[in-house]
Copies of this chain bind each other. A is one copy, B any other.
């Protein structure tokens, strides 16, 4: 009925007339089955998902950048508010003060955690945040090489390489020491070269809280990029106090579910002097015509929709909703909640390493150092094989290091969080004892 009236208004007789500009030679059909009811759709998707075994069904000791933490129900409640999740990027600030303030709060929380002045309101994930940081170093500084730890996941290293493709900057990898911290003897001489930027992680890929990151600043004038786990920062000296120029990390651990790895929450913070070279969207404080404090997206001239080919990044859609979730999470926990959660994670990992160290043929932890919630353990069998055996017993073991750091191919990166109780850890170690 409506449709007919609309066609009359437009002045067409058939809907097809609206497609007269699509030439015959490009016409084609859509070879998909007919639609389903809502009920059938839900049943069909559920029957596929049914084949998964999730971490509640098969306890998992995987971490490596994606962690199984408890997500407070309040966080899910807020990010499920229709007004938030059905909105677009807040191009019209007068209609989007809620999202803008929530994102400003996120930026503020990230700045407090990292002790930096400025943060953007998210990038895709921790790996692309590192990529963007490296690209920003290339904007801030000359130099041929971006120095990064060799102890990096193949995923992160590959992303870093891909993000540097257009800059002409290469990657130099430095090693680790016998305690799993960064190897200053290896790094030192490299710093003599034409360095574009230096990247160091704490905790690093081995889960080590690396005190040596605090020694870096005096060693170089190149921009210093620090990679963090934001939860660790509730206990640890922040990068801002260690002289970092840029801080990156993944904030999935702040109130987002693992979700098969994506979306992550790319954290990106920097010093005030660098803000105009930052990638990504930023929310700034300002005023409205009535003199009230208000928020809007700002410094958009850095961005692709204004600066196009000369933008600081191509990013447009980011992961704002996860940033809102992180803001809620941090506001709910606060300093004390966050630090006791962090403590619990350290203690969980410690307990697991202690249990494993009792197994004759396992070296746990492989590195004698402070760990956050994960650590390497050396196994008497190939970790890949071990994981297959454990899967049959209803467990998901840790990450085999081989594909990432081949010389540690007999090691597994095991993570434990507050989601593991003693019984779960004990059962896992018992299963390991049986199969090793």
- Chain B min CB distance to A37 (Å): 8
- Chain B min CB distance to A222 (Å): 43
Judge whether A292 is part of the interface by a CB distance below 8 angstroms: no
Question: Hey, which chain B residues are within 8 Å of A29, CB to CB?
Answer: none
Determine if A418 and B82 form an interchain contact, defined as CB atoms under 8 angstroms apart: no
Question: Hey, which chain B residues are within 8 Å of A73, CB to CB?
Answer: 38, 42
- Chain B min CB distance to A343 (Å): 13
Determine if B77 and A39 form an interchain contact, defined as CB atoms under 8 angstroms apart: no
Interface readout for A79-90 with B: 1 if CB under 8 Å, 0 if not?
010100000000
**CA A419 – CA B70 in complex, angstroms?**
33
- Chain B min CB distance to A299 (Å): 35
Taking a contact as CB atoms closer than 8 A, the residue among B38, B72, B77, B419 that contacts A82 in the complex is: B77
**CA A42 – CA B80 in complex, angstroms?**
19
Complex interface residues of chain A between 331 and 346 (CB less than 8 A to chain B): none
Question: Hey, which chain B residues are within 8 Å of A38, CB to CB?
Answer: 70, 72-73
Interface readout for A215-230 with B: 1 if CB under 8 Å, 0 if not?
0000000000000000
Determine if A418 and B70 form an interchain contact, defined as CB atoms under 8 angstroms apart: no
Please name the residue on chain B nearest to A74 by beta carbon: B38
Please name the residue on chain B nearest to A46 by beta carbon: B56
- Chain B min CB distance to A224 (Å): 36
Question: Hey, which chain B residues are within 8 Å of A72, CB to CB?
Answer: 38
Please name the residue on chain B nearest to A56 by beta carbon: B46
Please name the residue on chain B nearest to A39 by beta carbon: B70
**CA A174 – CA B348 in complex, angstroms?**
68
Please name the residue on chain B nearest to A43 by beta carbon: B421
- Chain B min CB distance to A74 (Å): 9
Please name the residue on chain B nearest to A70 by beta carbon: B39
**CA A309 – CA B72 in complex, angstroms?**
46
Question: Hey, which chain B residues are within 8 Å of A39, CB to CB?
Answer: 70, 418-419
- Chain B min CB distance to A102 (Å): 16
Interface readout for A47-76 with B: 1 if CB under 8 Å, 0 if not?
000000000000000000000001011000
- Chain B min CB distance to A360 (Å): 33
**CA A72 – CA B37 in complex, angstroms?**
10
**CA A82 – CA B73 in complex, angstroms?**
13
Please name the residue on chain B nearest to A337 by beta carbon: B37
**CA A39 – CA B77 in complex, angstroms?**
15
Please name the residue on chain B nearest to A332 by beta carbon: B38
Please name the residue on chain B nearest to A71 by beta carbon: B39
Please name the residue on chain B nearest to A72 by beta carbon: B38
**CA A39 – CA B72 in complex, angstroms?**
8
**CA A419 – CA B43 in complex, angstroms?**
10
Question: Hey, which chain B residues are within 8 Å of A42, CB to CB?
Answer: 70, 73
**CA A39 – CA B337 in complex, angstroms?**
13
Question: Hey, which chain B residues are within 8 Å of A418, CB to CB?
Answer: 39
**CA A418 – CA B42 in complex, angstroms?**
13
User: 9 A–B contact pairs at CB < 8 A?
Assistant: A38-B70, A38-B72, A38-B73, A39-B70, A39-B418, A39-B419, A42-B70, A42-B73, A77-B82
